[in-house]
């Protein structure tokens, strides 16, 4: 039960309570909106096989594990198995870099005829890391609908990685939305950084006929936040570095 006085009136985190705490007690690094969207997708899909890239404290894994028959969880943290292994009977933990593990795993799933229907990308948050994980995942030829959810699509580095991928090259990709759930920009709490947000990619068994449009439904909001964020300052300073070197010569 939720203690409304203690949990609502006296708690300063505006994302708490999400009213999911009783069902999913592990620390879950998603906003209330993200949790609801994430839950809804998994409740609708009920994937036969799912992949999670980036496990951390098992917050999102506890949800995936509940609705999927089988889960492959990839993380670089060697303590994951010790900390979480006994809590999830349908999860196989794979320890290492997703850039190395994922291509082999996708081939294994494809060769074994397993039906991959859901994946969460929430591991390497660098531009290259995000782009590589997407490229490796969409190499899977879907046997049914395959949804890929990407956390932190509101972060400029992650978003840049998502936009580097040539989705049109894969005819099975039918839908890409970078702002499926909007992210957050709270300067006082996040050091003027932009985080959160869920992107959503859908692959279908049938091939796409038309040109694919990459949706950014909150692009204006993203741009407004970006120009007020520390990311804009850092990107500007990085751009000015070569000019600064010229004056030093």
- The residue behind tokens 């074994």 is 112
In this predicted structure, the answer to whether residue 155 has a pLDDT above a threshold of 80 is yes
pLDDT of residue 248: 54
- Read off the pLDDT band of 14 (50, 70, 90): low
- Read off the pLDDT band of 10 (50, 70, 90): very low
The answer to the question of residue 5 being in a domain is no
Residue 90, phi then psi, degrees to nearest 5: -105, 15
DSSP H helix total and E strand total for the chain: 9, 10
The answer to the question of residue 115 being in a domain is yes
CATH number of the domain at 114, please: 3.40.50.150
pTM: 0.90
The answer to the question of residue 1 being in a domain is no
Residue range 63-118, pLDDT digits in tens = 999 999 999 999 999 999 999 989 999 999 999 999 999 999 999 999 999 999 99
Q: Which helix (H) or strand (E) element contains residue 104?
A: helix 98-111
The answer to the question of residue 130 being in a domain is yes
The answer to the question of residue 89 being in a domain is yes
The answer to the question of residue 4 being in a domain is no
The answer to the question of residue 6 being in a domain is no
Residue range 184-215, pLDDT digits in tens = 987 666 678 999 999 999 999 999 999 999 99
Q: Which helix (H) or strand (E) element contains residue 67?
A: helix 59-67
List the domain range (segments joined by +) for residue 131: 11-248
Answer for the pair 130, 162: CB distance below 8 angstroms, yes or no. yes
The answer to the question of residue 35 being in a domain is yes
Q: How many structural domains is the chain composed of?
A: 1
């Amino acid at each position: 039960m939720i203690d409304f006085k203690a949990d609502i009136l006296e708690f300063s985190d505006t994302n708490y309570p999400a009213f999911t705490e009783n069902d999913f007690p592990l620390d879950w690094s998603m906003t209330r909106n993200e949790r609801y969207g994430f839950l809804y997708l998994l409740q609708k899909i009920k994937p036969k096989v799912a992949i999670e890239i980036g496990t951390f404290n098992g917050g999102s894994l506890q949800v995936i594990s509940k609705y999927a028959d089988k889960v492959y969880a990839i993380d670089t943290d060697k303590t994951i198995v010790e900390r979480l292994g006994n809590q999830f009977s349908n999860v196989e933990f794979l320890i290492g870099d997703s850039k190395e593990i994922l291509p082999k795993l996708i081939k294994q799933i494809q060769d074994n005829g397993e039906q991959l229907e859901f994946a969460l990308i929430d591991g390497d948050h660098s531009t290259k890391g995000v782009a590589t994980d997407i490229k490796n995942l969409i190499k899977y030829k879907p046997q049914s609908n395959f949804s890929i959810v990407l956390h932190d699509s509101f972060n400029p580095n992650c978003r840049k990685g998502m936009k580097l991928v040539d989705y049109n090259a894969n005819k099975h990709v039918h839908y890409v939305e970078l702002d499926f759930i909007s992210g957050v920009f709270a300067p006082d709490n996040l050091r003027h950084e932009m985080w959160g947000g869920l992107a959503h990619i859908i692959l279908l068994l049938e091939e796409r006929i038309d040109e694919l449009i990459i949706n950014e439904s909150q692009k204006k909001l993203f741009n407004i936040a970006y120009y007020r964020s520390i990311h804009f300052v850092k990107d500007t300073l990085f751009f000015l570095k070569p000019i600064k070197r010229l004056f030093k010569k």
